[in-house]
Amino acid sequence: MSASVTTAPFEQIPTVRRNDDAMYDLPAWMARMAQEHGPIFRVAVRPDFQPVYLVGPEANRFVLHTGREHFSHDRGWSPIIGPQFGHGILNMDGEEHARHRKMMNPAFTIAYMARYLPIMNEVIAARTADWTARGEVDLYEETRRITFDVAAAALTGLATGPEVDRLRELFLTLLHLDFDPQRETWEQVYGRLRAAREELHTLLLRHITARRAAPTDDLLGFMVAARDEEGRPLSDEQLLAHVDILLIAGHETSTTMSAWLLYLLAVHPEYLARVHAELDGLPGDHTAPITLEQVKAMRVLGNAMSEAGRLHPPVGSGPRGVVKEFTFGGYTVPAGAQVRYSIAGAHWLPDVFPDPERFDPDRFAPPREEDKRTPYALIPFGGGPRICIGVNFAQVEIKALAAHVLRRYTLEPVAGQRIAQIYPGIVGAPLGGIRVRVAPRGA
């Protein structure tokens, strides 16, 4: 935004108090705050922590693209993930980030997805095979097992089994702090987290050492083989941080988006019928594993996936530390401030997405194409040069999973549950689960 207009100082940016809605109803709350106060306001999380929120397509364009030199990912993300997961690609800046992203990029091109899809199909088929026998499943729990197995196998070459199950449990301990003050002191909680981190890293280091001895052509293999300008390999610490972030980012978010997609389709039978018609009309063998061509052709399902990501974005906001003063929306924000671009809030602005609370995947189909009409409006994967590196991976996996399940099963949500996306921090999830009854399709 232009600096020539009169600007107000940082202290005058409106400050709003965080209430329960910010955790249990984040997208609607953020959008409401933006409508009441404008696209820039501070949220009083604690007396000593009041980050500046920037909300809306213009704000997203500024943070993610045109004004990105004002922001540091390291200073935004490291206070949140650094203590547990170190310094990986998500929280690097500048030259260092560019070098590491270049090293990983080849493993995330759409062409490379043809290599991952058979792994995805295999895990999906194995993990869903007993759903009808079990009769009732929690979609959130099931999709986590699937996406974690897929990330472990595709990115690091670890095969599904007890070791990968243990890895998943360890990440879960570190990600979703389960603290009951009646049972534990903070000392004990920290001890538990330390032990989980140590076990996780011992386990992963064993595999890193094995890869050094016998390199493979998966992403971990690329990283082990990579050399910097002076011919030095990545250190154990760097490799661990990358693997940590890739396994977390590679499953936590896809878990949430797939669980919501399946649930939203289960409660919108008319749209589900159109997805079934699309699946039934796909060229090729319908009993064989899904192909990349079929995945690409699933537009009706793809729009439902976009709508799941708009309504309940797995990542609620993107944190940044300000490294160079900037002006936005009439206010000046100095270096040293904490900023978040709000994914959740941007997705629920009614002037961009009319009736934002409504599940309406056709908003992404011609002629409406609400996302294309306003660039940087739909940003579940972030945007600009630092857009999610796993966007292709996630979209192929989620569509393959949904198509496999919808072809075989009908899902009926169990009555009486409260299903909600909860945001204890940056990342949201249906933490109470989404229980559904499963029956064979056509039964």
List residues near ligand HEM by CB under 6 A: 73, 89-90, 101, 151, 155, 245-246, 249-250, 253-254, 257, 314-315, 318, 380-382, 386, 388-390, 393-394
Cβ closer to ligand HEM: 89 or 295? 89
Long-range contacts of 2-10 (CB under 8 A, 24+ apart): 2/327, 3/327, 5/330, 6/330, 7/327, 7/330, 7/331, 7/332, 8/330, 8/331, 8/332, 9/331, 9/332, 10/331, 10/332, 10/333, 10/334, 10/337
Cβ closer to ligand HEM: 16 or 389? 389
Cβ neighbours of residue 162 closer than 8 Å, sequence gap 6 or more:
none
Q: Which residues pair with 342 in a beta bridge?
A: 317
291, 117 contact by CB (below 8 A): yes
Q: How far apart are CA 312 and CA 419, in angstroms?
A: 12
Cβ closer to ligand HEM: 31 or 410? 31
Cβ neighbours of residue 351 closer than 8 Å, sequence gap 6 or more:
none
Indicate the SS3 state at residue 22. helix
In the complex, the smallest distance separating the C-beta of residue 345 from ligand HEM, rounded to whole angstroms, is 14
Nearest to 439 by CA among 150, 131, 78, 141: 131
Order the strands of the 136-138 sheet from edge to edge: 136-138, 435-440, 409-413
Cβ closer to ligand HEM: 410 or 421? 421
In the complex, the smallest distance separating the C-beta of residue 88 from ligand HEM, rounded to whole angstroms, is 7
In the complex, the smallest distance separating the C-beta of residue 384 from ligand HEM, rounded to whole angstroms, is 8
In the complex, the smallest distance separating the C-beta of residue 260 from ligand HEM, rounded to whole angstroms, is 10
In the complex, the smallest distance separating the C-beta of residue 287 from ligand HEM, rounded to whole angstroms, is 27
Q: How far apart are CA 246 and CA 216, in angstroms?
A: 17
Nearest to 406 by CA among 262, 283, 269, 294: 262
Cβ closer to ligand HEM: 272 or 398? 398
In the complex, the smallest distance separating the C-beta of residue 42 from ligand HEM, rounded to whole angstroms, is 19
In the complex, the smallest distance separating the C-beta of residue 143 from ligand HEM, rounded to whole angstroms, is 11
Cβ closer to ligand HEM: 170 or 219? 219
- Phi and psi at 32, nearest 5°, equal -65, -45
- Phi and psi at 42, nearest 5°, equal -105, 150
In the complex, the smallest distance separating the C-beta of residue 3 from ligand HEM, rounded to whole angstroms, is 24
Residue bearing tokens 């965080």: 18
In the complex, the smallest distance separating the C-beta of residue 253 from ligand HEM, rounded to whole angstroms, is 3
Cβ closer to ligand HEM: 27 or 314? 314
